[in-house]
């Protein structure tokens, strides 16, 4: 699964990821480790690119503390992701790892990195439409004209706001005559 994330990463080269700038070497190394942890439902994108890692700190005694936030509150993959993040950091040499999930920096689809959006598109899913200025919640009007990830056409229609996972909706493209899925804006 990690390899898949790396492969898709090559195609999104040059686009900005979600690893913060100006980190110490140690912190950067841990962020890079997490950038290799795939999202279990869309394995081409890492938990970092998805934007669910909201904080990573290292205490003086070397203990690593990570804060995650769920995409959707009912996300069934959350416990799995907490465990995988913890294991990846322990494997990378951290002595103690504490992973906590909070809503203090709640997830929105704007947290997905540019590189992440491109990886989602390469995976065959339409990335979430960008939020228009002044719009405070998910922009459902934008969902009705999702761009087809295959041909780019906006001559599409939403078939259902609920798809195979909580974060995807179902669409149909009138130009390709094919169904597609969209990563939902939130």
Partner 1 sequence: MTNQPLPTAPLARYLLHLADDQLVMGHRNSEWTGLGPILEEDIAFSSIAQDQVGHALAFYEYLNQECGLADPDQTAFNRPESLMVSSWLVEQPIGDYAFSLVRHWCYDQAVYLRYESLSQIQDPALQALATKLRGEVKYHTFHANTWMKSLLQGSEESRLRMLTALKEVWPMALGLFESWSGEKALMEQVGHAGQPWYPGERHLQQHWQAGALESLVLWSVDVEALGLHKVEPVLGGRQGYHSEHLASMLEEMTAVFRLDPQAEW
Q: Does 28 bind partner 1 (CB under 8 A)?
A: no
Q: Exactly one of 47, 52, 68, 186 binds partner 1 (CB under 8 A); which one?
A: 186
Over the window 44 to 83, marking each residue x when it contacts partner 1 by CB under 8 A and - when it does not, the resulting string is --------------------------x-xxxxx-------
Whose Cβ is closer to partner 1: residue 27's or residue 77's? 77
Say what the alpha-carbon torsion angle 90, 93, 96, 98 is, to the nearest 10 degrees.
-50
d(CA 9, CA 12): 5
Closest distance between partner 1 and the C-beta of residue 130, in Å?
15
Residues 85-144 that bind partner 1 (CB under 8 A): 102-108, 137-138, 140
Helix boundaries (H) for 92-175? 114-122, 140-144
> Residues 103, 108, 111, 113: is their CA dihedral positive or negative?
positive
166: exposed, middle or buried (C-beta count within 10 Å: 0-12, 13-18, 19+)? Answer: middle
The rounded distance, in Å, linking the Cα atoms of 160 and 74 is: 19
Nearer to partner 1, 28 or 145 (CB): 145
Task: State the residues that interact with partner 1 by CB under 8 A.
Answer: 70, 72-76, 102-108, 137-138, 140, 159-164, 166, 170, 184, 186
């Amino acid at each position: 699964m990690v390899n898949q994330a790396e492969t898709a990463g090559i195609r999104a080269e040059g686009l900005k990821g979600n690893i913060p700038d100006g980190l110490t070497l140690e912190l950067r190394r841990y962020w890079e480790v997490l950038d290799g942890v795939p999202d279990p439902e869309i394995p081409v994108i890492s938990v970092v690119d998805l934007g669910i890692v909201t904080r990573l700190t290292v205490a003086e005694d070397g203990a690593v503390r990570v804060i995650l936030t769920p995409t959707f509150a009912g996300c069934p993959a959350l416990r799995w992701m907490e465990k995988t993040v913890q294991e990846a950091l322990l494997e990378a040499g951290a002595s103690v790892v504490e992973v906590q999930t909070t809503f203090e920096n709640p997830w929105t689809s704007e947290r997905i990195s540019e590189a992440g959006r491109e990886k989602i598109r390469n995976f065959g899913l339409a990335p979430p439409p960008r939020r228009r200025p002044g719009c405070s919640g998910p922009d459902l009007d934008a969902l009705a004209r999702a761009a087809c990830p295959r041909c780019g056409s906006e001559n599409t229609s939403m078939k259902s706001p609920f798809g195979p996972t909580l974060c995807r909706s179902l669409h149909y493209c009138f130009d390709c005559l094919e169904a597609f899925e969209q990563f939902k804006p939130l």
